[in-house]
Amino acid sequence: MNIFGFEIKKQPIEKHDPYDLRNHPNAFPLNKAEQEKIKGILIDLVKMTQNLTKQDINTWRMAWQRAIFVQNPKRLELLRHYRDALIDLHLTGCILQRKLSVMQKVFKIVDKATGEEDVEKTKLFKKRWFRHFSMYVLDTPLFGHSLIQLGDVIKDADGFKFKDVTLVPREHVMPEFHVILKEQQAMADSGVDYTTPPISDWCISVGQSDDLGLLLKIVPETISVRHMLAFWDQFGEIFGMPIRIGKTNSRNEGERAKIANMLDKMGAAPWGLFPDGTEIQIIETTRGDAFNVYDKRIERAENRISVAVLGQTMTIKDGSSHAQGKVHLEIFEKVVKSDADMLAEVVNEDLLPLMEKHGFGLGNVQFEFDDSKEYTPQELSSILGVLMQHYEVDEDYINNKIQIPVKGLKAATTPPSKEKEKEVKPPVNFFD
């Protein structure tokens, strides 16, 4: 159900390649007038590094400033930085590990009066719509706020369900004023309040209105990783492949174009065409571990990203010891529990009342995660072996745990008596 009543217009994305250096002010000068000696391509490389990083950090800071502007807060530019950051593969892995750890937890719908699970009502939530809803809720710590819209109520074999669940585009939401904007650049007073009916009957707001999320702190690290990888590629292109140098005294543009075309078609290595007499000097570092300048910076940035998202580093990277790994795992489990508690709160305080309002007939129930300990097959086998020696174990429990249908106790067989074992048959006399 589209309850907004207007078409949301997406603003065109500005196309700009920060690595296109052809028109860069610090680009290598190669026109006719400049025939002076060229010293050190790395000097220009350093200038480009400083310039690009400075520009991106500056735009991030300006976007942050616009997002916290009291009279008219706008998150558009900041969200563009967030989208760029989410391309980072290490950050993607950290987010997946955190979210999937919650999504894999077993949940149930229980009756508040008895505390027992209502299996039929639990089935209503084991659907695609609830998985999408949960994923949007778990995105909230990263972005700071999420406005989730529930779709039409339909019916299937298990009962009622929502047809779909969608995220209201963040660019059109101003959580500080609790409004949805028709135009991204519109003022707050022109928006529609999502805390009042009918919108509040179909939308759930998750997160604090002034929270900008963890991605605000992560963006500078992903900017650094992106640039270090690009500059490492440039370093490898300059010093990892031979450079072809062409020299000519001809001032005929046609002849020069032919030579340049030949150099260009000779392979992927860099090349240059200079007037005769031009001196080319490429200064390479004398250190054998120059790659560490890039590698170590990327490693440091990724560690900082891991700490921001997971609370530690060793569940996403190799650890140095078992003891350290255990401590890091405990920290990560606390992060996962915090996310699980947040999801349970949203379901119980917001989702269940809306479902009841739309006629799901849930009654007096609540959503819970099943935090009972999960045993390995070896542990379960040992425990059941000990229990069944002294107690009668519920057959349904065994069926659910080992996924092997158990119909009941096997009929006892009577062992042969010792007297029968001692009986010896007389030999057969074939002559009688």
Q: By the 8 A CB rule, do 248 and 260 touch? A: no
Q: What is the pLDDT of residues 239-258, one digit of tens each?
A: 666 666 666 666 777 777 77
Considering the domain boundaries, does residue 425 fall inside one? no
Kindly state whether residues 319 and 253 are assigned to the same domain: no
Q: By the 8 A CB rule, do 133 and 148 touch? A: yes
Considering the domain boundaries, does residue 428 fall inside one? no
Kindly state whether residues 320 and 402 are assigned to the same domain: no
- Residues 6 or more apart whose CB falls under 8 angstroms from that of 84 comprise 219, 222, 226
Instruction: Give φ, ψ of 241 to 5 degrees.
Output: -130, 145
Q: What is the mean pLDDT of the chain?
A: 79
Residue whose C-alpha is closest to residue 41's, from 293, 223, 285:
285
- Give the span between the Cα atoms of 278 and 283, in whole angstroms: 16
Please say which residue of 281, 296, 330 terminates a domain. 281
Segment 177-183 mean pLDDT: 93
- Give the span between the Cα atoms of 268 and 244, in whole angstroms: 10
Residue 419 CA, chain-centre distance (Å), reads: 74
Kindly state whether residues 216 and 334 are assigned to the same domain: yes
Considering the domain boundaries, does residue 403 fall inside one? yes
**Does residue 57 register a pLDDT over 50?**
yes
Q: Whose structure tokens read 């084991």?
A: 126
Kindly state whether residues 97 and 206 are assigned to the same domain: yes
Kindly state whether residues 79 and 198 are assigned to the same domain: yes
- Give the span between the Cα atoms of 321 and 337, in whole angstroms: 24
Give the number of other Cβ atoms within 10 Å of residue 36's Cβ: 9
Kindly state whether residues 140 and 195 are assigned to the same domain: yes
The boundaries of the domain holding residue 248 are 244-281
- Give the span between the Cα atoms of 257 and 383, in whole angstroms: 82
Q: What is the pLDDT of residues 346-392, one digit of tens each?
A: 999 999 999 999 999 898 999 999 877 666 777 777 877 787 777 77
Helices (H), 210-286: 215-239, 253-265
Kindly state whether residues 342 and 268 are assigned to the same domain: no
- Give the span between the Cα atoms of 1 and 198, in whole angstroms: 11
Considering the domain boundaries, does residue 25 fall inside one? yes
Kindly state whether residues 121 and 57 are assigned to the same domain: yes
Q: What is the pLDDT of residues 98-157, one digit of tens each?
A: 999 999 999 999 999 999 999 999 999 999 999 999 999 999 999 999 999 999 999 988
Domain count, the chain: 3
Kindly state whether residues 64 and 197 are assigned to the same domain: yes
Which residues sit opposite 205 in a β-bridge? 147
Considering the domain boundaries, does residue 419 fall inside one? no
Binning pLDDT at 50, 70 and 90, where does residue 414 land?
Answer: low
- Give the span between the Cα atoms of 8 and 77, in whole angstroms: 18
**Does residue 286 register a pLDDT over 60?**
no
Residues in the chain: 432
Considering the domain boundaries, does residue 432 fall inside one? no
Kindly state whether residues 184 and 307 are assigned to the same domain: yes
Q: By the 8 A CB rule, do 109 and 48 touch? A: no
pTM (two decimals)? 0.71
Considering the domain boundaries, does residue 418 fall inside one? no
Considering the domain boundaries, does residue 431 fall inside one? no
Kindly state whether residues 311 and 395 are assigned to the same domain: no
Kindly state whether residues 385 and 322 are assigned to the same domain: no
Residue 372 CA, chain-centre distance (Å), reads: 27
